[in-house]
Structure 1
Amino acid sequence: EANASSLYVIKGNGYLTALSYGFKPYSSDENFTSNQTKILLEPKRIKLEIFTFPANATVSLNGNVSSEVNGIATFSILPGMISITIIHKYFKEFRSTEYIYPGINESLQITMIPEQPLIAISGMIMNSKYNFGVSGVLIKYNSSDYSFSYTSGFYRVFVPSQSQNVSFRANFYAPYNISENSTANTTINVKLSFILNPSSTNGNPILTLDRAIPLLFFSMFTSWTIIDAPAVDYFEIHYYILGTSKNFTVKVGSGSSYDFVNGIYPGTVYVIYIEAIFNNGQYVFSNGLKVSYSNLAYLALNLSIAVIIGLISYSAFIYVNKRVRRKKAFDK
C-alpha cells in the first residue's frame, strides 16, 4: 500500500514514534489491536521566495500578499498546491499554480510580460576584481520602474524604446550608469567595482583586511589594520555567501584589530570586508577577500589543527587513564 510501512509489534497498548523528512515528529500511545494503525503526520512549514522581474510588484499567494524586499517576496507556507498572483502596473497579470513538496524550501524566478512595447535589457552583473555575480543590485531608469539582480548576478529591466539612462546601485560598490538607445531586446553585461574609500571621509584613512582564514570547519579568523584615521567608534565585519542574497554583519569594538566569525561552513564561498565607523559619523571600507575551505592551504591548515587536537586529546586520555589505574592500584 502506498505511504505505508510494516512494523512487527506486540498486540495491545504501545508507544509509537514516527519521524519523516519535512514533517513534525509524531509520538503517541497507540492500541495495536488490528493489522493496520493509521497516523497522520503534520507537515512543517517551508520558505517560498518569489523573485520578480521587474521589482515593485504585488505578489500574493493563496490570497495573502507579501511585502517585497529587493525584488523578493517571501512566504512561510504549508506544502501542497498553491496559487500565485503577481500584479504590476504596465505588465500583464501573472497567475500560476504550483505544487510545493514537504521539507524543500523553494525559490521561483518570474519574468512578467509588458502590456505595452518595452525593451528588455538583461545581462550579468559581476564583481570587477573577483569576477563573481553580484546580487541585490538596484537597476532602474525612473523612480517606479526598476529591478534587482538575482542571486547569480543576472538582471533584467524593461525600458521604453528610446534613449534611456539606466543606473546600477549596490551597497559597497561604485555607482554605474549606461545610456541605452536600443529598439530591440539587448544584452549588456556590467562589472561593478568595490568602493574602498568614500570621498566624504576626512583625510586619507586606509583600512586593510589582512587575513580571513577559515578555521576548524565552522569559524573564520579575520585581522585588519587601519592607518591615518580619525578616532574609530567601532568596526563592522561584513560577509555574504557568494551567489546568494544572504548578508551578515558582526560588530566589533574600536580597540580590536582581529576577531573570529562563526557560522562559516565547508562547501560555501564567502566574500568578506571590514568597515570602520568613526566618531564623526564618517566611514571607510577595506578591500574584499573571497574565502572558502576549498583553498588547499586552508584545507591543509585545518587538517593539521584537527590532527594536533586529536593527538592532544588522545594524550590527555592516556594520561587520565593511567592516573585512574594508579589510583585503583594504590587503593588496593
Structure 2
Amino acid sequence: MSTLHGHPRTTTRAGTKRRSFLLGGAALLGLSATGASAWALDRFVIDHTEIEDVAAYEAASSSSSSAATATATEVSVGASTYTSSATSISIETVSTGSGSDAVTYHVADVVLSDATALRSAFADNRYGTNITARPSEIAQSMGAVLAVNGDYYGFREDGILIRNGVIYRDEGVRDGIAFYTDGRAEVYDETTTDAHSLLDAGVWSTCSFGPSLVDGGAVIAGIDQVEVDTIFGNHSIQGYQPRTAIGWVDDAHYVMVVVDGRDEGYSRGVTLPELAGIMVSLGCQCAYNLDGGGSSAMYFNGEIVNRPSNGGERATSDILYIAMGA
C-alpha cells in the first residue's frame, strides 16, 4: 500500500512484532494504551484473527468444491516462463523513458485452462485484520510459481471479499473486481450487489481496493480524481507511485502488472491513468488497481522480480497466485 496509506509495517518477524504506524506523517512507536493511542493500536497494529486455519475453512466449505485440485503434467519452468498441460505464464520487464522520466514495469501474462487456478492466500493462513507477512513468504507457503500482492484486505473491515469460492466479507462500499469460475472477469460497483448474489452467479474471487482502471477495453474517466479509503491518514493514491494491477484479456487470460517507483533513473512510478493505459496496451478488457506503493511485489519461481520501493518487501495481508503444478 502506498505510503499515502497509513498502515502497519512489520519491522521484526521474531517474537513480539514491533510495528511503526504512519499516521498523518508521524511514526507512532510505543503508544500508551489510552484514548486515541489505544484505538490506533487496536485498529491498525494489533492482530485480530477471525479464522485460525483458512485452508481448513475453505476445504470445509461446499462453495469451494470447484477448486482446482488436479496436478498438471509436462511442467516446465524457465527464467521467465512457466508452462504445463494446463497453464502458460510469461514474464516480461518493460522500461521506457530515461532520467527522471524513466519507468520500469513487470508484466505476467497468464493463460489458464481452469480459471480457479487463479487463487488467493492470506498471510499466516489466517483471516482477520493486521495479519501480515512478506509476499514471498505467503507465496512459498502455498507452493506458488507466480504471485502478486493483493488488495491488503486486512487493513480495512469493509468491502466484498470472496476468495477461492468462499465469502469472507459482505459490506460493499467501493469499486471491486470479480473473477468467475468460467474464466470471465468484470469490474463492478460493490454497492449494487452482495456477496451471495455474486457467489450464486459463479464468482470465484473478488478484490476490494481500486479504483477500476479499464472497462470495455477503454480507460475509465475520472480515475485521476479517485480517493480510496478516505479515513484519517489514507486520503489519496494519486501521483507517480509504484503500482500493482490485474487485468482480464479474454477467457481465463489474465495480466498482472507491477510498476516500480520512487527510484529516479530507474522508475519514477506511474499515475493511475498511465497505469490504465498500460493495461489497455496489453489488451485488457477490464483492469483493476490493487494495493501499491511499498507493497507492490511480483514473485516468480522463488524470487521477487521487481524492486520494491522500500528497498525490500513490505509485509502485506494477501496475495493472488498460481501454484506450481497448476
Structure whose residues are more often strand by fraction = 1
- For CA contacts below 8 A with separation 6 or more, give which structure has more relative contact order: 2
| Bin for the TM-score computed over the shorter chain | under 0.3
- Bigger radius of gyration: 1
Provide TM-score, normalisation by structure 1: 0.22
